[in-house]
Amino acid sequence: MTWFGLPFRRRPRLYLALLAGLVASVLTPRGWHASSRLVVGWDCLALVYLGLMLQMAWLGTQDTLRQRAGIEDPTRWLFLALMSGAALFSMFAVLGVMHEAKAAGGTEGVLLIILAAGTVLLSWLLAHGVFAVHYAHEYYKDLLRGRDRGLDFPGDHDDPDYWDFLYFSFVIGMTAQVSDVQVRTKSWRRLVLAHGLMSFLFNTVVLALSINLLASLF
């Protein structure tokens, strides 16, 4: 496999989403400020990644989960940190878009406010979606290596699928705490702690930006 093929095999959704974001940013009208062009590119990246992730969840099985978990990826923690950081950074880029909306006014101002609101939502969805995929990978990697299950999903006798991990991740994202899923190992508690802290920070930023968005309308 070539030097490009292995990274693409590890993260095909990311590469396709990056390409979509780059194309969207380039095609954004030249008259728009840099922050707006950046946000448009980010939104397209998030939309494509989330769409591919939902497709994977819809079509994926426990066998495909095990297969993906078997692909060694030493950069998975770096990827998780970078994606979470990029999502948070995009939230602050929204401040620049809101400033442009106030200056533009009229129809363009309304469009920029809609763009800012969409960015807040997409960044939040993307951050917790990435964590869900990471949880799935770590869970089945532990099983392949003969380790104890990091999570215990109640009421199910079959192995969890992507929807179970999406449920687990987004409950943490909404509440900064776990639901009825039991965390069983120390390494998993550390991972969930990091996710909970990020969720608290993220939700605080979302609240602040939402107040600013509402203030921009009046």
* Distance, CA of 128 to CA of 112 (rounded, Å): 25
The pLDDT of residue 6: 47
User: Which residue in 146, 97, 98, 90 sits closest to 122, CA to CA?
Assistant: 90
What Cα–Cα distance (Å) separates residue 24 from each residue in 27, 38, 141? Answer: 5, 9, 35
The pLDDT of residue 79: 67
What are the pLDDT digits (tens) for 104-127? Answer: 777 777 888 888 888 888 888 988
* Distance, CA of 136 to CA of 142 (rounded, Å): 10
- DSSP 3-state of 2: coil
* Distance, CA of 178 to CA of 192 (rounded, Å): 8
| DSSP line for 154-196 | TT--SPP-HHHHHHHHHHHHHHSS--SPEE-SHHHHHHHHHHH
Positions of the chain with pLDDT lower than 50, given as ranges: 1-6
The pLDDT of residue 5: 47
| DSSP line for 114-144 | HHHHHHHHHHHHHHHHHHHHHHHHHHHHHHH
* Distance, CA of 102 to CA of 107 (rounded, Å): 11
The pLDDT of residue 9: 60
The pLDDT of residue 50: 93
Domain ranges of the chain: 5-216
Place of tokens 């989330």: 50
DSSP β-bridge partners for residue 151: 183
The pLDDT of residue 170: 95
The pLDDT of residue 4: 44
